[in-house]
């Protein structure tokens, strides 16, 4: 028997692999997706978002961090500096006009 598990004169068919050879083969590498994290706040919760994202920056510095701000504001604001990206979520025209949300009382 040779080093690669083949017998003398063996043509290297599929049955000639040993456990050592099978274990040494490496599986194909898969691409790893980059992690992202987000939270949704109104403007008055900006301090909480900064605290959360600061902790996440410390524990997972390679993650992308986003804060979605859902509030009535005419000007976009960057409340996080370099801690996270701020995304202003536009309130629909119906909500601006005071159209009631169906089943609002069932949320509590």
Give the three-class secondary structure for 68. Answer: strand
Give the three-class secondary structure for 33. Answer: coil
- Closest by alpha carbon to 64, among 37, 86, 39? 37
| Residue partners of 30: CB distance under 8 A and separation at least 6 | none
pLDDT tens digits along 4-35: 555 555 555 555 555 555 555 677 777 778 89
Contact assessment for residue 14 and residue 6, using Cβ atoms and an 8 Å cutoff: no
Burial (Cβ within 10 Å: 0-12, 13-18, ≥19) of residue 108:
exposed
Give the pLDDT confidence score for residue 27 in this predicted structure. Answer: 74
Residues 27-48 have a mean pLDDT of 87
6 or 98: whose pLDDT is higher?
98
- For the chain, the domains span 36-94
């Amino acid at each position: 028997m040779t080093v690669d598990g083949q017998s003398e004169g063996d043509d290297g068919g599929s049955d000639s692999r040993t456990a050592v050879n099978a274990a040494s083969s490496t599986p194909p590498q898969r691409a790893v997706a980059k992690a992202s994290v987000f939270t949704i706040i109104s403007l008055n919760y900006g301090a909480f978002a900064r605290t959360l994202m600061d902790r996440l920056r410390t524990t997972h510095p390679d993650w992308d961090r986003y804060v979605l701000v859902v509030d009535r504001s005419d000007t976009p604001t960057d409340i996080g500096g370099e801690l996270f990206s701020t995304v202003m979520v536009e309130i629909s025209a119906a909500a601006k006009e005071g159209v009631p949300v169906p089943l609002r009382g069932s949320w509590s």
